[in-house]
Structure 1
Amino acid sequence: MTDFILPRRHLSRRTFIAAAAGTLLLPAVHAADAKAKPLVFAHRGASALRPEHTLAAYAKAIADGADYIEPDLVCTKDGVLVARHEADLTETTDVAKRSEFASRRTSRKLDGETHTGWFVDDFTLVELKTLRAVERIPQSRPGSAQYDGMFQLLTFEEVIDFVAAQSATTGRLIGLVPELKSSTYFAAHRLALEDRFIATLAAHEYTRRAPVEIQSFEVANLRYLRDKLGRRANLRLMQLVGVGAMQPSDVIAAGGKLTYGAMATPQGLRDVAAYADTFAPPTRALIPLKKDGSLDAPTPIATDVRAAGLRLETWTFRPENRFLAADFRNAAGEHARNEAGSVAEIRRYLQLGLDGFFTDDPALGRAAVDG
């Protein structure tokens, strides 16, 4: 990776000097250190209720008590980090209806799968700002879909500024849990995320003092960030994992053999602890489902994560019946919201001793933790 530094005009003199020296003064307290309760991470904002990664989704999440909000990060053609869950814009924007961009529809291999659509790295920020966000699963979330077309896409810097403003307004320190998406893909397109990300953190007073937990499904980018950022009071690194024989994209690209299943073993977890602070498997890796869709017995992963000295966080709780274990569904139909069932399911997983969890509906996560 090559070093990337924001232009000096974006930095205060004090920040520029500190960034250049590689020393940023940080507070001694991380949000989690001041509270014993599990952290509620707003997955793409309050994405069960508002189109994901919009100001509306983030505002709703903060109002509903989220401890952290999540901006997934991808990169535009002109090198700007923006908040989108994936490089493919097709499902979460109105790009397919925009005739001026029809010729940019193409196919790309992204994280091991071929996608056909419109990709963020084919758009400048100015072009991207003409698009509007839409609900990804309108059949399950019609309440969110009513906001289609209302909100523009956000840069990472805009997200930071918004969270800082909300923190100042509410008097509550609100964390950020950014995910670097598809690092290997963007590096191959000469749009490496990591140094842009580091420079953005250094350019903002809020991210020099507020809690930031950086996540990725890849390994090399987290190792790189640990080397560049060191161990700081307000920063943590989260290793996201899939299950079984699945592999991180960077491992595949390098011809390696490491699997997520191997990473979840006692030895694998000790290896992760050398560069990360948190291990974050999907919920069903912690408590899998039986054939009838109900919860089975917990796996050893939670115990093994603790033994390795790592934090345990998980993803993602969603409030519709279709996403719940059979134990917690009601008779309202697969697309129906089931708030009581979602809270009950979260509480079952909290019995494992979670340090934090992602939820599409932070109000329900807050209820599960505080109730």
Structure 2
Amino acid sequence: MTTFRFIVERGPQDLILAGEEALLESVSNGAPPILRFVIFDPTAVLIGYHQAVEQEVNIEEVKKRGWDIGRRPTGGGAIIMGKEQLGWEIYAEASHLGYTPEEAIRRGAEGVIKTLEKLGIKANFRPKNDVEVNGRKISGIGAFSQGKYIAVTGTILVDFDAEAMVSVLRLTSEKLRDKLAKDFRDRLTWVNRELGNNVEMSQIISLAKQSFEESLNVKLEDSTYTEDEKRLISELRMKYSSPDWIYNLRKSLEGDIKYIEKKFQGGLIKLQVKMAGDKMIEAVLITGDFFIEPRRAIYDLEARLKWSRVEDIEREIKDWYKGVKIIGITADDLINLFKEVLSK
């Protein structure tokens, strides 16, 4: 039976997110595979790799609460992670997790489902990347890869404050705020809500450790970081705390912008297009909570379409799409989205 290292980390977002990148690199360089549980302290609003902070987050409200803002190295949407949410992460060769990001996500979901079953909560996997209880999401999961190695990261909502979540999102009105708070309560659930009482985080960690051992069919051995991992995490903390990474990696276009957003099976896409006349595209920004491999491929599409003719969009997208994989979003979906926004 394969042995995985097991670590529990508690700390600020830059420490934990630096660990996500460092551990995948370390395992891909020969370090033993690892399962890590994380607790964010202080609370942090985390956006996905492909999102723009100013589109997703009420920055002033986050600062008022004394929370952090961070950008994950994975796709997906904005989430709150604090002392009442348990994060879990697996770093291993793809063969341990089913070879593809989709299968790795399912394997991770099995660990969450078993954890909830031990608590008396019946849950199931909901494609593309959620675990649900009676139709309500209790865990979101993401994955990113490096060669033949995969990182799978996810959450277990132990407790949740819908009003707090809504207060730190970008919203247009108080009326919408009230509606979204109710919507979150309808769409999400959490362990304490399902059980009707509060469960200690230490109990969740113990049960989750057992459950992931079973679902991954591995032995988990309490461990620490290697010296190389400690060094790399320390170096990467500068990146994950820097404004350039958090705020400027994906930044809204300025000027006269055509804008559209649309929900697909694979996630929400927010598309901004800046035109130079009627037939020429000056710049494009594609953000959202989608997952794509390779992770930086969306930059390649934006570069392809910069200073391109409108009539070339379909050809450029189809050619680009041959080398990428977006879960739940087709080339035609993207082409039709461009057509729709350019018709405005």
Indicate the TM-score class for this superposition, using the shorter chain for normalisation.
Answer: under 0.3
TM-score in terms of structure 1 length: 0.26
- Structure with greater proportional strand content: 2
TM-score if structure 2 supplies the norm length? 0.28
